[in-house]
Amino acid sequence: MHADPAAALAFEARLRAFLDAHVAPLGRAGYADPALDKTLAAIGGWAPVGTRVRWPHRSVPEEAVPALRAAAEAAVPELFAAGSVSGPA
């Protein structure tokens, strides 16, 4: 961020675009923040938590994760660079 502010702003724009296009619609569809948080963890593969949340919240279907991960990898590949993500790919 300090070394290359323009690149940092570009990264922020790509991350926001991913969130706006793929995560915000899930929120508008009625999935609560805990469900979105767990879905983001599943997308990143950084914690083996799955997407299931407890009642009264609805869980984002696990089947949605691969497509969301592909979209995230396309938008912000830096977050998926070798060695930067632990857990299942």
Phi, psi dihedral angles at 60 (to 5 degrees): -70, 135
Q: What is the pLDDT of residue 83?
A: 52
Q: Which residue has the higher pLDDT, 49 or 34?
A: 34
Entry pTM? 0.84
- 16-34 residue pLDDT tens: 999 999 999 999 999 999 9
pLDDT, one tens digit per residue, over 56-83 is 999 999 999 999 999 999 999 999 986 5
DSSP assignment of 45-84: TSS---S---TTSPPPPGGGHHHHHHHHHHH-GGGGSTTS
- Tokens for 74? 């396309």
Domain ranges of the chain: 5-80
Alpha carbon separation from 23 to 44, 82, 83 (Å, rounded): 13, 24, 25
